[in-house]
Structure 1
Amino acid sequence: MKLFYITSGYRRPIDILDNALIKALIAAGYDTTFFLTNRRPLTELIPAIREHAPDLVITLCGPKSHLPITIVHQIRSLGFHTAVWFVDDPYAIDNALEVAAAYDTIFTIDSGCIPYYKAHGCKEVFHLPLGTDLDIFKPYPVHPSYSTDVCFIGTGYKNRLDTMQEMLHYLPPSTRVHLIGHFWEHVDWSRGVRPQLRSKWINFTETPRYFNGAKIVLNLHRSEDDRYLDKNRTGAPAHSINNRTFDISACQAFQLIDYRADLSTYYEPDKEIVGFQSPKEGAELIMHYLNQQEEREAIAARAIARTQREHTFLHRVDRLMSTLALV
């Protein structure tokens, strides 16, 4: 099968997903042409598709589509099958719904969004979670500066700020906590643990160093109704886990995650991953597992094995292509 892949047009962090998917398509052996939208003008896109005459044209879509609907319609009018993978659901689903019906086949990273796409006239809609890149996310020794009891990497959206502030209030003051990302400096940390903050974006090469240096890696999802981006006025629920779940597990790090409805589909709770449903429960689990090294390591070992078996981008490409073969 001949494929034509159009990149999302985004830089970080979506370009990391573009790169991982491109690597997976190459590794899977598909005859794929890549159109890099941040390096070539869109006026060259249709001629390039005509020249290569692919069986499938596929693109990745972040918070907002960089591919105009008129171009998608033009591609379909030429007889080429089109597919899009929306990778910021449900947080930007309002934007996604503006363009989704233009494509033949829709893939969404969150199962809770499927009914909303179908309600907007999309007939072929499938859940396809993101995966991890084992070339980047893997276990290895790190410098002592990355060593800590607990770490979290991510933007401090309101629900995360509130959860973390309450959680750290319950922990002993001696607990070493690293918080990496924007907005964490806006919290009053005078009660409970005072975390070490790094209020900046870090690139994908440094992220696994923190995962490998922490005894416990926290994974807090964004709220489905977060008002920072404010592009889920549709009200689509968040059921699925984020791609960071797979990245953390790929580093053989012990992961403590807030529950999502689909969690048990991908990892066995308390065997491969540990979940919590309130800040107090999260703090209690942190205190428990900080003193249980063997238990942490056993859970992390099972998690990396599951990830390597089922949750890489190569696995996602296989699932994507097998799904398309049936439609």
Structure 2
Amino acid sequence: MTRVLLVAPAFHGYGESIAGALRRVGHDVILHAYDANETLASKVRTKLVHELPSRFGSRSGELARKRTLTARAVAAVVAGRPDVVVTVKGDALGADYWEALDASGARQLLWLYDELARMDLDDDVLASRPSIVSYSPQDVAALRERGLRAGHVLDAFDHTIPFTPAPGDEVVFIGARYPDRTRLLLGLHERGVPVRAYGRDWSRHPVDRARTWELSRPDVPSARGVDRPTAYGLTAGAVAALNSHTNQDGFTMRTFELPGTGSLQLIDRPDVDTLYEPGREVLVFTDVDDLAGLCERARADRTWARAIAERGRSRTLAEHTFDHRIPLLEDAWA
């Protein structure tokens, strides 16, 4: 049995999903969520001590947090005595962590499910990694051009998370707020399409305004952020769910989660045809008018929409769960 230390962000519990898939094929897995704030006190401390100084141009809080996270991750490596260490992203960790990895003698894999351009990963660290996988085909190509061992591993859906569909008559979006997403949702709302955006960037709740250091919100119906089981239920019961990419060449988790939950996915990427069949398993839109038309048809013809969603779910369960990605990880760390 291989002892795997999985060092991953706490973000939406994806580390738990990866750990579960590794365990299902027989690995002994230790999960270290390196940036987890497990108590209210720790969350408040992160805001006041680590994030607040950056609002005034100081990096003191950011650097202090990096030192803390790095020390915890180093301790996890030393205590875990792993055969393999899989680091997911890892750009919040300092040089001491990577040195501890190299000194451990464990096989290593760096898994990136974000573009390098969006990360703060030291180039010397990147160049010294023995094996890297990324969801970004462009990053994989660039890394290979540099002579690094790099492979392409898609994001995935966790089919083991239980959820209850929440039937509704809205088109939903769950995720961060970016200008293109705001434009699309405003456009739908202005055209009379019932929509709702979920997430702290959209929510008008005073706690979310404080958490995001921002008071203004776009004129889009919104709600607070939700955990993954709730998100899966909302998308499963919605008329349709929007998946909008922002300067991304990789396909996000939502690409697989939406059809995986049985939702009708509306996606802005025609190249999704390498994964799903547009028109039969997902719907691709080109602009806000096209998107509005698809939304209205989905509302008017639920049988049509449900048939597409069910075919998308079948394809996801057959090809795009985390279990399907594990053999690629095992090959990459070998």
TM-score by length of 1: 0.78
Residue 150 of structure 1 and its aligned partner are, at CA, apart by 0.9
Residue 151 of structure 1 and its aligned partner are, at CA, apart by 0.9
- Structure 2 counterpart of 1:23, from 20, 24, 47: 20
On the 8 A contact 1:208/1:251 being kept in 2, the answer is yes
Structure 1: gaps (5+ residues): 190-194, 225-237
Residue 36 of structure 1 and its aligned partner are, at CA, apart by 5.1
d(CA) in 2 for partners of 1:98, 1:211? 41
Count matched residues. 288
On the 8 A contact 1:105/1:125 being kept in 2, the answer is yes
SS at match of 1:148: coil
Residue 318 of structure 1 and its aligned partner are, at CA, apart by 2.0
How do 1:46-195 and structure 2 match up within 5 A?
A: 46-48=77-79, 51-52=81-82, 54=83, 56-61=84-89, 64-66=91-93, 68-90=94-116, 92-95=118-121, 97=123, 99-119=125-145, 121=146, 123-136=148-161, 140-142=164-166, 147-169=168-190, 171=191, 173=192, 175-184=193-202, 186=216, 189=219, 195=220
Residue 88 of structure 1 and its aligned partner are, at CA, apart by 2.2
d(CA) in 1 for partners of 2:72, 2:332? 31
Deviations 1:112-169 (A, max 9, x none): 22233345x451111112211112266x443xxx612311111211121122223333
1:268 matches 2:286? no
Structure with larger RCO (C-alpha < 8 A, sep 6+): 1
d(CA) in 2 for partners of 1:282, 1:98? 43
Residue 251 of structure 1 and its aligned partner are, at CA, apart by 1.2
d(CA) in 2 for partners of 1:276, 1:315? 28
d(CA) in 1 for partners of 2:316, 2:269? 18
Instruction: Sort the Cα spacing of 1:3 and 1:97 in 2 relative to 1 into closer, same or farther, 3 A.
Output: farther
Residue 94 of structure 1 and its aligned partner are, at CA, apart by 4.6
1:291 matches 2:322? no
Percent sequence identity is 22
SS at match of 1:155: coil
Instruction: Sort the Cα spacing of 1:162 and 1:98 in 2 relative to 1 into closer, same or farther, 3 A.
Output: farther
Which has the larger helix fraction?
Answer: 2
d(CA) in 2 for partners of 1:38, 1:167? 36
Residue 91 of structure 1 and its aligned partner are, at CA, apart by 5.3
Deviations 1:272-321 (A, max 9, x none): 10111211211121122222212111111111111111111111112221
Residue 268 of structure 1 and its aligned partner are, at CA, apart by 1.2
Instruction: Sort the Cα spacing of 1:101 and 1:70 in 2 relative to 1 into closer, same or farther, 3 A.
Output: farther
On the 8 A contact 2:170/2:194 being kept in 1, the answer is yes
On the 8 A contact 1:107/1:125 being kept in 2, the answer is yes
Instruction: Sort the Cα spacing of 1:265 and 1:187 in 2 relative to 1 into closer, same or farther, 3 A.
Output: same
Paired AA for residue 60 in structure 1 = V
Cross-structure match for 1:5: 5
d(CA) in 2 for partners of 1:187, 1:71? 39
Deviations 1:195-222 (A, max 9, x none): 4311x3222231112112211111112x
On the 8 A contact 1:87/1:108 being kept in 2, the answer is yes
RMSD over equivalenced CA pairs, Å: 2.6
Instruction: Sort the Cα spacing of 1:33 and 1:216 in 2 relative to 1 into closer, same or farther, 3 A.
Output: closer
